[in-house]
Amino acid sequence: MESAASPVERRTGSKNWIDYIQKDLPEHLDWWPYTLGAIPLTLFGLLVTTGLLLTFYYVPSPDQAYESVEQITHEVYLGWFVRGVHKFSVDLMILFLLFHVIRVFLTRAYRTPGELKWVSGSIVFFVTLGMGFTGYSLVYDNVSYWGMTVVTSMLGNLPVVGLPLMYLLRGGEEVSGGTLLRLYDLHTKLLPVLLGGLVLGHVIIVRLKGFAEVKGSRGFHPFYPEHTLVMGAIAVGLLVLIVDLVMIFPPTLGPPANTQEVASDVSPPWYFSAAYMWITLLPGPLSLWSLMGGAGLFVVYPFLDRVLLERGWPMPFVNVVVGVLAVLVFVALMVLDVRM
């Protein structure tokens, strides 16, 4: 613990890690828009717990995957509930990550010294989307089978690394049992460990770099008990919300994967729906490159902001315009996907 505490000690002057955690927080962390980062963290915990439970029944083989999900949903005691909580937790985690990104973007909280907070957070966001994709592939209904085909083909179109990457994910030329096993490995082992590490890193970076300064907010807010109580209340609220959602919308299951016939509606979950419409509307290479370029710009945005600001751009205004446009395009593409 000593070696871990030393950089902390240098920055904070604290003697040990408990002092460091207990360091006062700014008041504004009690304000609703500033709690949005802790919500995905809570949901991540819920996802790990329910995910672990689901692995006790799920079988990652093409012959049994769908049946095992059916068994979880219809036969296992409270199976539908555990699967429902898992499903809604990921939906809400991505939703609140989006809210959190929007809040940070609009308040430009990534400004120096917060660049690393943004970069680490944006990687957390992409890995979470990767978890979403690998997760819905495991259900092995027709939508997930063709989703797997489309997404891995899309990666295969990338220059140089595309084909090896596609082979790596598929475990061969075609989507097969090997693909399912690889996505299962990614979803239940590699990505959760990576995501856990990244989330921890993100939280440590936020504590080391400090929270964004907000006018009128003072730093008189101890982590325990005040802040812990607020977070606890939010966690309880979230649990109530998720339980309600699962009761009202219990998890369903589409028709099983049919390798001979594409599902009539292959629309992916809502968080991929905008990207899905984007690749439908634009010709192949252009849509792929624009998505990759957009993701790259997203990660390095704090540095772009700095360059543009030096050239005299009114960045607070630019961010509002970009943020509103991005949300409008995202929603418009989602609506279009529902209508088509």
Partner 1 sequence: MGFGLLFGMGTLALRFLQFLVPSPKPKRYEAVLIGSLSRVPVGEAVPMDLSGQKIVVLRTNEEVLAFSRRCTDLGCLVSWSKEREQFLCPCHQGVFDKTGKNIAGPPPRPLDRFEVVTRGDQLYVNIQSS
Nearer to partner 1 by Cβ, of 102 and 282: the residue is: 282
237's tokens: 């609220």
Shortest separation between residue 175's beta carbon and partner 1, angstroms: 8
- Distance separating alpha carbons of residues 139 and 124, to the nearest angstrom: 23
Least separation, in Å, of the C-beta of 335 and partner 1?
Answer: 17
Q: Shortest gap between Cβ of 334 and partner 1 (angstroms)?
A: 16
Q: Identify whether the C-beta of residue 178 lies closer than 8 Å to the C-beta of residue 169.
A: no
Indicate if the alpha-carbon torsion angle 202, 203, 207, 212 is positive or negative. Answer: positive
Instruction: Provide, rounded to whole angstroms, the least separation between the CB of residue 259 and partner 1.
Output: 8
Judged on CB neighbours under 10 Å (0-12, 13-18, 19+), 18 is exposed
Rounded to an integer, what distance in angstroms lies between the CA atom of residue 52 and that of residue 56?
7
- Ramachandran class of 8: left when φ > 0, alpha when ψ lies in -120 to 50, beta otherwise: alpha
State in angstroms the smallest separation of the CB of 170 from partner 1.
9
- Closer Cβ to partner 1, 150 or 204, answer by number: 150
Minimum CB separation from partner 1 for residue 66, in Å? 19
Token pair recorded at residue 300: 């390095």
- Taking the least distance from each CB to partner 1, the nearer of 5 and 154 is 154
Least separation, in Å, of the C-beta of 303 and partner 1? 28
Nearer to partner 1 among residue 21 and residue 168 (C-beta): 168
Closest Cα partner for 288 from 22, 52, 280, 91?
280
Identify which of residues 189 and 218 has a Cβ nearer to partner 1 in the complex: 189
The least distance separating partner 1 from the CB of residue 181, rounded to whole angstroms, comes to 12
3-state secondary structure of 33: helix
Query: Quick one: 160 or 248, whose CB is closer to partner 1?
Result: 160
What is the largest distance, in Å, between two alpha-carbon atoms of the chain? 65
Q: Which is nearer to partner 1, 172 or 232 (CB)?
A: 172
Nearer to partner 1, 42 or 152 (CB): 152
Residues that bind partner 1 (CB under 8 A): 146, 149-150, 152-154, 157, 164, 167-168, 171-174, 259-264, 266, 279-280, 282-285, 287
Min separation Cβ 276 and partner 1, Å: 8
Are residues 295 and 126 in contact, defined by beta-carbon separation less than 8 angstroms?
yes
CA 155 to CA 338: how far, in whole Å?
A: 25
Give me the helices (H) in the chain, please.
Answer: 2-12, 17-21, 38-54, 65-74, 79-107, 115-138, 142-156, 162-170, 177-185, 191-209, 228-248, 270-281, 284-299, 301-310, 315-339
Which amino acid would we find at residue 219?
Answer: G
Q: Which of residues 3 and 264 has its CB atom nearest to partner 1 in the complex?
A: 264
| CA distance linking residue 339 with residue 334, whole number of Å | 9
